[in-house]
């Protein structure tokens, strides 16, 4: 062990842990990508339904929850990208 102080990347994150940050980013990106694929599949399946069934489906609370969740994931994706940029800047400093 050296007497040098550890470089800090972010709040209470020592420089020796950038791999953990990269891993966390990778995991989050994978989850966001999966959600995007699932959303595309749901949209495709909805297109396969007849017009009356589609209308009935889109009037349900579950569909509204799905749409809200999808909007939230878009915000989350932007937040993850912002977080990664902040971590990169902290690492460079």
Distance (Å, rounded) from C-alpha 93 to C-alpha 88? 9
Q: Give yes or no for a contact between 45 and 57, defined as CB atoms under 8 angstroms apart.
A: no
Residue that wins the pLDDT comparison between 87 and 30: 30
Q: Give yes or no for a contact between 18 and 9, defined as CB atoms under 8 angstroms apart.
A: yes
pLDDT of residue 42 exceeding 90, the answer is no
| Location of structure tokens 């940029």 | 85
pLDDT of residue 61: 96
| 8-37 confidence digits (pLDDT tens) | 445 555 555 668 888 888 888 898 889 889
CA 53 to chain centre: 31
DSSP structural state of residue 50: -
């Amino acid at each position: 062990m050296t007497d040098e102080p550890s470089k800090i990347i972010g709040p209470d994150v020592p420089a020796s842990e950038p791999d953990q940050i990269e891993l966390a980013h990778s995991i989050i990106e994978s989850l966001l990508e999966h959600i995007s694929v699932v959303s595309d599949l749901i949209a495709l399946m909805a297109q396969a339904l007849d017009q009356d069934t589609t209308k009935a489906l889109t009037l349900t609370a579950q569909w509204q929850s799905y749409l809200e969740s999808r909007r939230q994931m878009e915000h989350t994706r932007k937040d993850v990208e912002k977080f990664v940029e902040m971590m990169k800047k902290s690492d460079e400093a």
